[in-house]
Structure 1
Amino acid sequence: MIPWEVVGRARIPGSADELVLSRRGTEFSIKISGYVSELMNSRVHGSEDALAEFACSLVLDRKRPEVLVGGLGMGFTLAAALKALPHDGVAHVAELVPEVIEWNRGPLSMCAGYPLTDERVRLHQGDVAALLRASTAAYDAVMLDVDNGPEAMTHPDNHWLYSAQGLQAAMRALKPMGVLAVWSAEGDDRFTARLRKAGFDVELRTARDRPGKGARHTIWLARN
């Protein structure tokens, strides 16, 4: 078997941990230093695709829909959003870690089909939380694929996104009848209740890592 080779490291802002990018042939993996389990893998992205497909399907009837993807990762959620959006749609993407952007322009670029080269993309290097705080009625859909979901593990500040204050910021950032879509490794009844308390109508769906197999992940579709 081909051994894994570390091809990149990136310090997570505000944390002592690092993101570690490894490659084995054409397969890529990102882990957090000190953790055994993967954060993401280029062969397993069905639920990330579904996050964008579910969210975009609810706003396709709008003129020039604008969506925001929180967390670039390996580019799969962004790529799925671009595939789902019409030719006049706009996909904003916010990524906190500069090296992740460079990886998506370099070794990871082919994995999701070079989404950063699409002219409909607006790239924001920085915290998606700051973008939400600064936005009012800006997006038809906001997709949060940040960290591991509501139980944030890579960056302590990510907890704010899933707090009552973060959800209110997302509500303000959405246009009327906008959609907040949230990916999580697993379900969380407390987060569902928090969404409803914030004023969202909530639908829960699940999606698998791969077609017909693999782990099931949770996706919240919350409409304001």
Structure 2
Amino acid sequence: MIRWEHLDTAQVPGGDELKLMRRGAEYSIMAGPIELMNSRMSGSEQALATLSCERIAGRKAPRLLIGGLGMGFTLRAALAHAPADAQITVAELVPAVVAWARGPLAHIFEGSLEDPRVTVFEGDVAEAIGQGGWDAILLDVDNGPGGLSREENDGLYDPRGLGAAKRALRLGGVLAVWSAAPDAPFSQRLRRAGFQADEVRVNAHRKGRGARHVVWLASVGQPTKNRASP
């Protein structure tokens, strides 16, 4: 049996350490005993991007914000579905995670960080949200609305954080949130914040087997005029 190899450690501001682990061709990012990301499970991260891009299809030069770089599965899926004039910003709080993407995980990222549509923002995604003017905000931060690795992440999902996201979205924009498990109180908070929210169960694995995760798609108002007609 192949043992896990500890490749590197990174400190999360105000939270636990992150560990990059490898077992053969499999990679894992851990926060303490909790696995946040595994290279063999990318289906739901890809769905986060594809479902979001479907919601804003037809917009001219759409601006997308992805909160959390992880192993780049959401970013790669967004690049595959976003138009050539899209602007995609990836916010990553931990600089080492960006370094891993250009180092030991470069083969997984497949050059996505060098795509001219992509900008990496090394900082708190809450700051990037505050810049406003987004067509889509995709949050894959921590393990979902019930944060596990960093207490400050809870602020993204509480009423104040949801209000900030709503103000930062263009009319007809979408807030998409990934979670490892359902969270009924979060669904209620989305609706109380004025979002039209759908909760979608998605496969964790690309091949559609095993665990299922959750993606919330929360829309704001009516589509803008430059959205494709039905």
Runs of 4+ in 1 over 6 A off after TM superposition: none
Which residue of structure 2 aligns with residue 143 of structure 1? 138
Residue number in structure 2 paired with 1:88: 85
- Total equivalences in the alignment: 219
User: Residue 112 of structure 1: CA displacement?
Assistant: 3.2
How do 1:94-105 residues align onto structure 2 when only pairs under 5 Å count?
A: 94-105=91-102
Q: Which residue of 1 aligns with 2:208?
A: 212
1:191-206 to structure 2, matched below 5 A, reads 191-206=186-201
Q: Distance in 1 between matches of 2:66 and 2:208?
A: 25
The alignment's TM-score, normalised by the length of structure 1, stands at: 0.95
- Report the aligned-residue RMSD: 1.0
Does residue 158 of structure 2 align to residue 160 of structure 1?
no
Q: Are the counterparts in 1 of residues 66 and 138 from structure 2 also a CA contact under 8 Å?
A: yes
Q: Deviations along 1:20-70, whole A, 9 cap, x unmatched?
A: 00112221111112x1x4211001110000000000111121001110000
The partner residue of 2:67 within 44, 66, 70 is 70
Shift of 1:189: 0.8
Gaps of at least 5 residues in structure 2 are: 221-230
Residue range with higher mean Cα deviation, 60-69 or 110-119: 110-119
Structure 1 residue 114: Cα displacement: 2.4
Q: Amino acid of the residue matched to residue 193 of structure 2?
A: A
Q: How does 1:1-224 map to 2 (within 5 A)?
A: 1-15=1-15, 17-33=16-32, 35=33, 37-132=34-129, 134-136=130-132, 138-210=133-205, 211-224=207-220
What do the CA deviations read for 1:177-205 (whole angstroms, capped 9, x no partner)?
00000000011111001000000001111
Query: 1:2: Cα distance to partner?
Result: 2.1
Q: Note if contact 1:91-1:120 (Cα within 8 Å) is conserved in structure 2.
A: yes
SS at match of 2:143: coil
Structure 1 unaligned residues grouped into runs of 5+ = none
Distance (whole Å) between structure 1 residues aligned to residue 28 and residue 112 of structure 2:
18
**CA shift at 1:163, angstroms?**
0.4
Distance 1:114 1:108 in 2: 10
Shift of 1:87: 1.0
1:134-177 deviation line (CA, Å, top 9, x unaligned): 323x1110000000000001111000000000001100111110
Q: TM-score, normalised by structure 2?
A: 0.93
